Structure 1
Amino acid sequence: MSFPNVYMHRKVAEAKARSCDICYRLSSSVLITPDSKDWFYVCPAHLKDTGFCTPIIDQAAIEARKERELREEIERVKKEYEEKQKKKKEKSEKGSKDETDEKGDKKNEGEDEKQQQARDKPDTTSDDTATSPAREEEEEPRVFELKSTFYQLRLNKKRQAEVARRNRERMQDPNYFPSVPKNLP
C-alpha cells in the first residue's frame, strides 16, 4: 500500500474547493501522487513552508526552458536586424529617388520619415508585459516531496482507510459471525 513520496501540485476549479488538510481553510490546490493513489487539498502557503514540503527541481526542464528562451531571443534579434536592414535599403532607395526628383518638397519628406519611423517602431512594452505573468507561473515549482512526518501521516491515513474498508467487507459476509448452535448440549 506504499506510494512514492513525490507529489505534483494541481489546481481545481474554485467551485470544487475543499478544506486544506493542514489548516482547514478552503483551497483549490491539490497535491497528488503521479500514480493517483494519494491526493489531498493543501493551501498554497503551505507549499512555500520548508517544514511541510520541499520542491523537487527538475534540472533538465530548467535547461530546456533556458534553451528555448535563448532561441526565442535569437529569433527576435534576427527579425529586428532584418527590419533595420530593410529600412536602410528603403531609405537609400528613397534617397536616390529624391536626387532624381529635384522638385520634391524637403519639408514633406521630413514629416514622411517621422511618420514612417513611428509606424515601424515596434511596441516592445506590450510584448514584455504579456509574457511576464506566464513566466512567473512557470517559476512556481510543480513537484514536491513531503517531509517525513507528513509523509508518515499520509501513509497511516491510507492504511487506516484500507483496514476500515476490509472490516466493512467482512461485516457484510454472513460467515464472519459465529452461527447459532444446532445441537443440544
Structure 2
Amino acid sequence: MSIPNIWHHRKVADTSARGCEICFKPSTSVLITPDKQDFFYVCPAHLKDRGFCSPIIDHEAVAAAKKKREMDEEVERLKKEYEEKQRKKEKEAEKEKDKDKEKDKKDDKNKNEDKAEKKDDSASDNQDKPKEKAQSDVEQEPRVFALQRTFHQQRIDRKRQAEMAKRNRERLNNPSFFPSVPKDLP
C-alpha cells in the first residue's frame, strides 16, 4: 500500500489538539492525504521548514483566487460609490423640501451631519482594512504540501507496521493458527 506524497493542511478545534508528530507539542494543524488514508498532527512552524516539507503551489488556483479577490474588491467599491450617490440624492431632495421651511437651521444641521458621517466613514474604512489583510494572509498560506523523502518514507513504514500488527492480532484470535494436539499415541 503506497501513500501519495500530497498532504492537505487542515485546522481542527483547540479542544481536539494533539501532540505534534515531530516535537510532541500540542497542535491544531493536521496534514491529511486527499483520500483520507493517513493523517498526522504537525506544528505550523514545521510546515515552514524546507527540511520537513515543501508547498505545492497550484498557479492556476492562485491566479483564479487573485482574480476573484480583485472582482470582489471592485464590486465593493462600486457598491460604496452607488450608496454615496444615493445618499447625496436623498440629501438634495431633503434640502429642497426643507429649503422653503427652515433654511438657516437646516444648513447648520446638515454641516454637522456631513462632518459626523465623514468621520464615521473613515473610521469604518480603517476597521475594514485590517480584516482584509488578515484574510489575505490566511489565503496566501500554502494548503498543499509534499513531505521530504525521509519523512514520507517514515509515514509509509509506520502505516505498514500498523497493518502487520493488525494482521498478527487477527491471526492470534483465529484458533486454527495454533497447532492442534497430537491424537496418535507415541
Q: TM-score, normalised to structure 1's length?
A: 0.82
Match for 2:2: what amino acid? S
Distance 1:95 1:169, change over 3 A: closer
Match for 2:60: what amino acid? A
- Quote the residue 1:45 is aligned against: 45
Distance 1:6 1:84, change over 3 A: same
Q: What is the aligned residue count?
A: 183
- Quote the residue 1:18 is aligned against: 18
Q: CA deviation at 1:92?
A: 7.0
Q: CA deviation at 1:179?
A: 1.5
Match for 1:118: what amino acid? A
% identical equivalent positions: 48
Of the structure 1 ranges 148-157 and 111-120, higher mean CA displacement relative to structure 2 is found in 111-120
**1:24-103 equivalences in 2 (<5 Å):** 24-83=24-83, 85-86=85-86
Q: CA deviation at 1:16?
A: 2.2
User: Greater CA radius of gyration, 1 or 2?
Assistant: 1
Q: Unpaired segments of 5 or more residues in structure 1?
A: none
Question: What secondary structure sits across from 2:60 in the alignment?
Answer: helix
Of the structure 1 ranges 152-161 and 109-118, higher mean CA displacement relative to structure 2 is found in 109-118
- Quote the residue 2:126 is aligned against: 125
- Quote the residue 1:115 is aligned against: 113
The 2-side partners of 1:61 and 1:23 are apart by 32
Q: CA deviation at 1:34?
A: 1.3
The 1-side partners of 2:88 and 2:22 are apart by 64
Structure ranking higher in helix proportion: 2
Q: Unpaired segments of 5 or more residues in structure 2?
A: none
Q: TM-score, normalised to structure 2's length?
A: 0.82
The 2-side partners of 1:13 and 1:88 are apart by 47
Q: CA deviation at 1:51?
A: 0.5
